Amino acid sequence: MTAKLESLPHGLTNLEDHEQQAQKRLDDVAWAYFSGGAADEHTLHHNRQAWTDLRLHPRVLRPMTGGHTRLSLLGKTLAHPILLAPVAYQRMVHTDGELASAYAAAAQGAGFVLSMQTSTTMQTIAQAVHAEPGRGPMWLQLYLHYDRGFVVEMVKQAEAAGYEGLVVTVDASVSGVRDRERRTGFRLPDDVSAVHLAGQYHRNRPLNAGQSALFDDLLLAAPGWPDLVWLKSITHLPILIKGVLHEDDARLAVELGLDGIIVSNHGGRTLDTVPATANVLARIVDAADHLPVLVDGGIRRGTDVLKALALGATAVLIGRPYIYGLANAGAVGVAHVLRLLRDELEVAMALSGVATIDQITPELIYRDHTF
């Protein structure tokens, strides 16, 4: 399978332009699903504002010759520190769905994390891009399902298909209270589904009087830290956990020998009023010791990427922005979003006096010591 090449709409000069254009293209149901957050959406909005509130403290007259954005992550050299986060049901946005996003990531040298709720099979994605020269890492997202046999089968399929890492999402044992979706009466289109989850959804158990459908049924199968130990025992792939906001959880990840941490609040889609990822990133980095720490949530500018790296992140992930690019022009739209962000990062680095990623330090963040 190949993705269609489309023309970009006129006038898309930044990620905000992509978002505004995508809203015109998507129906109310799809827009609520992809752009909305939990409850009153405080965290959704704070994610973005927190990056803006940080100030850069540039140096001048520094040598820039030979500058680049290359870095090493889990033994692989990446062209730049921008990856595509796992986003479910991408065929709601464009007929090529995850295939278009994977092609764009490969073309732009970006890492790609395929959602466990993909609407295109993991094998199809891998076959399309695995041999592409210069592509970034290809990882599969996992939710630790109550059926361990199912998880084993998913992991085996991922290994056989050539995926190079597992991203275990740990901050969504239940769905958040997403008012925008409920107001639109959200339901998946008939031609879109989670292709690897057919028949695997939770089956309700009988409840006694006074019992909770959440605590006495659904959460009985919720995963815990021992499940990550078990997962390590069945795969050779590196394991990253996504959804960490507390430094004590970062320390547990180190103790268990996991391979990476993704600081994330699920884009503000699960628990509202938790901290913005920009506000907790530095303390997670401190607690994570030697582990690579990635971050997502609200990143819309190259300056945001630079700030994340200055706070100690190894790399960043974006979610909604590339979905908007997908809505606007399929694979071309996603590639455009990635290119815009990478170009902005290079400009921000040059104007801040840093030529390479390893020159980016916490001193690049302005600290106002006045009282």
Residues that are catalytic: 266
Distance in angstroms (rounded) separating the CA atoms of residues 161 and 183:
39
11: helix, coil or strand?
Answer: coil
Distance in angstroms (rounded) separating the CA atoms of residues 84 and 87:
9
Three-class secondary structure assignment of the chain:
CCCCECCCCCCCCCHHHHHHHHHHHCCHHHHHHHHCCCCCCHHHHHHHHHHHHCCECCCCCCCCCCCCCCEEECCEEECCCEEECCCCCHHHCCCCHHHHHHHHHHHCCCEEEECCCCCCCHHHHHHHHCCCCCCCCEEEEECCCCCHHHHHHHHHHHHHHCCCEEEEECCCCCCCCCHHHHHHCCCCCCCCCCCCCCCCCCCCCCCCCCCCCCCCCHHHHCCCHHHHHHHHHCCCCCEEEEEECCHHHHHHHHHCCCCEEEECCHHHCCCCCCCCHHHHHHHHHHHCCCCCEEECCCCCCHHHHHHHHHCCCCEEEECHHHHHHHHHHHHHHHHHHHHHHHHHHHHHHHHHCCCCHHHCCHHHECCCCCC
Which structure tokens are listed for 100? 């278009």
